[in-house]
Structure 1
Amino acid sequence: MCEGQALDGRDFLRQAIAMNPLEIAASALLLLNIALVARRSIWNYPFAIAAVSLYAVLFYETKLYSDMLLQGFYVALNLYGWFNWSRSRAEAGEVVVRTLGWQARGAWLAGCAALTGGWGWLMHRLTDAAMPWWDAGVAMTSVAAQILLSRRYLENWVLWIAVDIVAVPLFAMRGLWLTAGVYAILLGLSVWGLIDWRRAYRRRAAA
């Protein structure tokens, strides 16, 4: 048993040494970004833009094309979010949390499902994408979550939690072990973000 444990330790060390430096840098930036988002810090946006730029290259190399194309859209959304959060802080003195009604929540979920089906079919038919349906689900739900985040809606965290749950095994199966581990940490940060943003929303609503 001790011999097997030693072997596992050596395997882990070899994998750690062989990790892509690009993946390490992107993962570190992403963790900083989400930690700042959970705290409603506007300074999350420079880290976000740097992280998605690196991930675009990484996903191209691993044939996760939906996620690769998603990064370009993320840059635009992060610039929009930076502007939106700055305006909210200038007007209210803080980044104000908003929430959707039940009808709007249903519409966003239906939109995520429809876009996942359509985009997954395109990736399956037109490219050699690995796991096109899972990849599409992560990509399309991430788009919706990022839009809601940029507009300061509490529900963005619910979608991010769903994305993280699916992304961990997806990236692990593509050999992106560090990114899979990062998304496991992001799952915890997303739960924290949901709790903290809900607290902030209730505090402001009661004021």
Structure 2
Amino acid sequence: MTPLEIAANAFTAVAIFLAGRNSVHTWWTGVIGCSLFGILFAQTRLYADVVLQVFFVGTSLLGWWRWLRGRQGAPLPVTHAGWRTLAWMVPAGVAATAAYGAILHYYTNAYAPFVDSAVLVFSVIAQLLMMGRRIENWPVWLLVNSIAVPLYASCGLYLTAVLYAAFWVNAVVSWIWWRKLAARESGAALAPVAHTL
């Protein structure tokens, strides 16, 4: 366990906790945590995870803006993703995992290329859903965390593995919380209509 791993875990833990609480501060704390994780993963030859952290930094900046001003200058509400969106995301995720895993396997000395690729691809999907404040980001994060915990433990990143296990629990709690938020926001939006009938 290094100071770099401790710092990366600390900032990322705060960011994930804030995401679960639907706080816009998740994004800037995430930028710091992901930058630190990018360096850490480069040192441990988890190259797909390095690419993922670069993606996270960029999308965190965009997500920060979208959450604040994403819908005609107003904050985005918490909503569900449509079935059509989910129907193409899952097979696309599996295909992208296989393709990128093969590239890592044949052209780099990556550790666990296909598993690492699955973490990358489905994290991208979860992040895109989170940027749109879609509830379904949380079950995708559950999948990612289930893959990431044994991956990180197997290459000696024990603190990171423990953190991702905590993220798994946080994703369950956050999934429940976001569903309640969406129901509350939906009810608030329908109330003025009902009042005028």
Give the distance between the partners of 1:157 and 1:116, measured in 2 at CA: 19
Look up the match of 2:101. Answer: 120
2:8 alignment partner AA = A
Look up the match of 1:16. Answer: none
1:43 maps to 2:25 = yes
Look up the match of 1:134. Answer: 115
Contact 1:38-1:190 within 8 A present in 2 as well: yes
Distance apart, 1:88 and its partner CA: 4.6
TM-score w.r.t. structure 1 length?
0.87
Distance apart, 1:99 and its partner CA: 1.1
Task: Select 1:153's aligned residue among 114, 134, 137.
Answer: 134
1:193 alignment partner AA = S
Task: Select 2:12's aligned residue among 30, 38, 44.
Answer: 30
Distance apart, 1:122 and its partner CA: 0.4
> 3-state DSSP class of the match of 1:152?
coil
Task: Write out per-residue CA displacement over residues 27-84 of structure 1, whole angstroms, 9 at most, x where no aligned residue.
Answer: 0111100110111111111110000000011001111000011111111100110000
Give the distance between the partners of 1:174 and 1:165, measured in 2 at CA: 16
Give the distance between the partners of 1:95 and 1:107, measured in 2 at CA: 23
Task: Write out per-residue CA displacement over residues 137-156 of structure 1, whole angstroms, 9 at most, x where no aligned residue.
Answer: 00110011111111111111
Give the distance between the partners of 1:89 and 1:56, measured in 2 at CA: 31
Task: Write out per-residue CA displacement over residues 77-126 of structure 1, whole angstroms, 9 at most, x where no aligned residue.
Answer: 0011000001159955x551121122221111111111101100100010
Give the distance between the partners of 2:92 and 2:32, measured in 1 at CA: 28
1:145 alignment partner AA = A
The runs of 5 or more residues in structure 1 that have no matched partner are: 1-18
Give the distance between the partners of 1:88 and 1:107, measured in 2 at CA: 24
Look up the match of 2:69. Answer: 87
TM-score w.r.t. structure 2 length?
0.92
The runs of 5 or more residues in structure 2 that have no matched partner are: 189-197
Aligned pair count?
Answer: 188
Task: Select 2:51's aligned residue among 50, 57, 69.
Answer: 69
Look up the match of 2:191. Answer: none
Please list, as runs of the form range in 1=range in 2, the aligned pairs for 1:170-185 lying within 5 A after superposition: 170-185=151-166
